[in-house]
Structure 1
Amino acid sequence: MTSRTASPAHTDNSDLDRSAAGISVAPRTQTPDPAPRLRQVYALARAEWGQLLNNKVALLNCFALPALMVFFFAGIGGFTGISFGALAPMLVLGTALLFVVYYTLVTSFVARRESLLLKRLRSGEAGDGVIVAGIAAPFVLITIAQTGAAALAAVLWLDVPARPQMALIGLAAVLGSLAWVSLAVASTGPTKSVEHAQITTLPMILVPLLLSGISLPLAMMPEAMQSVAHFAPMTPVVELTHLGMTGQTVLGETLTGLALAREVAVECAVLLGWTVIGWWVSRRTLRWESRS
């Protein structure tokens, strides 16, 4: 295995080993009384959280990077006629999904696979879904917490009016996390090592970022590209958050009633579609043990 400093997630697995021991790694057919799934997820999530706290690079990636990217994209992004307060939660959520949930989860999952920890966990009573949920939970919770904090700060200190549509921000955070967790797991299949993740994750970071409107105004894109962009995995997150913070779409349309409900349903359907695609690919390409 390669150097532990090469990735935010590439750390010692002692905490996760202890977690695996706590769950039990006996063959599944020999565990008639398995621990409840939520308790298993909690044990794995707590161990993954311990790994995160012991890794300064990972902490920087999870807590400082989204805030830094807010100021970066606020200066170059494609949003006009919107205050910084309304813009901040959208940028926090978008960048956190890309770099906290997606990239960090890919490197973490690959590191656990190469150390054979996933194989040991899978040979016990923890199911595949429990393992994925346990490893992903800390990164998802960090993303949701940061987004909620940004929205609250915008209302309290940045003169953004509170509105009922702000519930859409929570919806975007939850469905966006589901989609990007599934895409992260799917991306581990072709990723040979933690260092290789820097290459394999690049298309899934750059293309959705370009098409989301965060880095390039959607209004400046050709009409055909705009149509494609609406089906990218980051665009619905940006659209829902923009609706929640401003009551308008990214293109400046004010929606109410059935028009708003229809728009929300479409954006949610796109995110759920990407979730299904990610899991479908994962079932065919995911590896649970080292290639060597």
Structure 2
Amino acid sequence: MFDIAWSELAQTFRNRSVLITSFFMPVAASVFFIWRREIFASVGQGFIAALVVFTIAAFGLYASAVTSLAARRQNLFLKRLRSTTASDAGILVGLILPATALATLQTVLVLVVLSAVTGRPADLALVAIGALLVVAMMIGLGLATAGVTRSPEHAQITTLPISLGVIAVVNWVAITGYEELTALKRLLPGGAATELLTRAWDDGVAATDALILIAPTLAWVAVSGALALKYFQWEPRR
């Protein structure tokens, strides 16, 4: 598993387009959000935290995972790996681990910078839980999307609906607040996680409310995992 992960990490750093679009651009966008944080002062700094987490997860982790898996399947690398002693789970973990580790590191560093310039979050533990749930959800959605993606070039199209969709949900939920259409906002993918992240950063969340917000996010993690099991393919798509 770790041999596969090291090999995948090396391939990632050799691919300049993947580095720019999947890693540098999300970080650059996050830095811009922090730099112009006064624009979001009326919404709260928690909005920036949620936006950072989802931007890196959607464009850094999710998009790069789909592109990488589609490329490895197209050149039959996945098929060759299955002929080795590595288990299916070990192969997938090895392929996804570098992107996950890089996205997690990016998120931590950007949130540390945000806390340094705006103040510590009210509930750091819940911010961490919310971020981890977002990462888990995007990994599952990445595996599912890779199953319907024919090539790395095709990934630029197939990843757009979910990437832009979750960012739209973050903006809608955080900017319009939680008082209206509360149930709908919490049921949308990323909606409850956005509320959890923003409230945990700005004011803190009571234990009961935290469980209410974690539940639908966990449900989306389960849904994304089920979609991954259903749609992910090892053989090239025809």
Deviation at 1:88, TM superposition (A): 4.2
- What is residue 244 of structure 1 aligned with on the other side? 200
- The reply to whether residue 187 of structure 1 matches residue 145 of structure 2 is yes
Deviation at 1:291, TM superposition (A): 2.6
- What is residue 213 of structure 2 aligned with on the other side? 267
- Is the Cα contact below 8 Å between 1:79 and 1:217 reproduced in 2? no
From the superposition, tell whether residues 265 and 280 of structure 1 become closer, same or farther in structure 2 (CA, over 3 Å). Answer: same
SS in 1 for 2:215: helix
- Consecutive unaligned residues in structure 2, runs of 5 or more: none
SS in 1 for 2:86: coil
- Is the Cα contact below 8 Å between 2:57 and 2:103 reproduced in 1? yes
For 1:99-156, what per-residue CA distance to the aligned partner results, in whole angstroms no more than 9, with x for missing partners? Answer: 0111110111010001111111122222222222111111211222122212222333
- The reply to whether residue 51 of structure 1 matches residue 51 of structure 2 is no
SS in 1 for 2:147: coil
Deviation at 1:243, TM superposition (A): 2.7
How many residues get paired?
Answer: 236
- The reply to whether residue 207 of structure 1 matches residue 169 of structure 2 is no
The residue correspondences of 1:170-181 to structure 2 (distance < 5 A) are 170-181=128-139
- What is residue 160 of structure 1 aligned with on the other side? 119
From the superposition, tell whether residues 77 and 124 of structure 1 become closer, same or farther in structure 2 (CA, over 3 Å). Answer: farther
- What is residue 119 of structure 1 aligned with on the other side? 79
Calculate the TM-score normalised by the size of structure 1. Answer: 0.71
The 1-side partners of 2:173 and 2:186 are apart by 15
Deviation at 1:210, TM superposition (A): 1.4
- What is residue 82 of structure 1 aligned with on the other side? 44
The 2-side partners of 1:235 and 1:132 are apart by 28
Calculate the TM-score normalised by the size of structure 2. Answer: 0.86
Radius of gyration: which is bigger? 1
The 1-side partners of 2:18 and 2:235 are apart by 23
For residue 227 of structure 1, the aligned residue among 183, 193, 207 is 183
From the superposition, tell whether residues 151 and 271 of structure 1 become closer, same or farther in structure 2 (CA, over 3 Å). Answer: same
From the superposition, tell whether residues 136 and 105 of structure 1 become closer, same or farther in structure 2 (CA, over 3 Å). Answer: same
From the superposition, tell whether residues 173 and 202 of structure 1 become closer, same or farther in structure 2 (CA, over 3 Å). Answer: same
Deviation at 1:247, TM superposition (A): 1.9
- The reply to whether residue 145 of structure 1 matches residue 105 of structure 2 is yes
- The reply to whether residue 287 of structure 1 matches residue 238 of structure 2 is no
More helix by share: 2
Deviation at 1:218, TM superposition (A): 2.8
From the superposition, tell whether residues 196 and 81 of structure 1 become closer, same or farther in structure 2 (CA, over 3 Å). Answer: closer
- Consecutive unaligned residues in structure 1, runs of 5 or more: 1-39, 249-254
- Structure number with the bigger relative contact order (C-alpha 8 A, sep ≥ 6) is 2
Deviation at 1:214, TM superposition (A): 6.2
- Is the Cα contact below 8 Å between 1:178 and 1:275 reproduced in 2? yes
The 2-side partners of 1:66 and 1:117 are apart by 28
- The reply to whether residue 278 of structure 1 matches residue 238 of structure 2 is no
- What is residue 14 of structure 1 aligned with on the other side? none
The 1-side partners of 2:39 and 2:100 are apart by 25
Question: What is the root-mean-square deviation of aligned Cα atoms in Å?
Answer: 2.8
The 2-side partners of 1:112 and 1:214 are apart by 36
- What is residue 10 of structure 1 aligned with on the other side? none
From the superposition, tell whether residues 112 and 43 of structure 1 become closer, same or farther in structure 2 (CA, over 3 Å). Answer: same
Moved more, 71-80 or 273-282: 71-80
From the superposition, tell whether residues 122 and 87 of structure 1 become closer, same or farther in structure 2 (CA, over 3 Å). Answer: same
SS in 1 for 2:78: helix
The 1-side partners of 2:38 and 2:155 are apart by 27
Identity of aligned residues (%): 27
The 2-side partners of 1:222 and 1:265 are apart by 18
- What is residue 63 of structure 1 aligned with on the other side? 23
- What is residue 29 of structure 1 aligned with on the other side? none
The 1-side partners of 2:104 and 2:20 are apart by 17
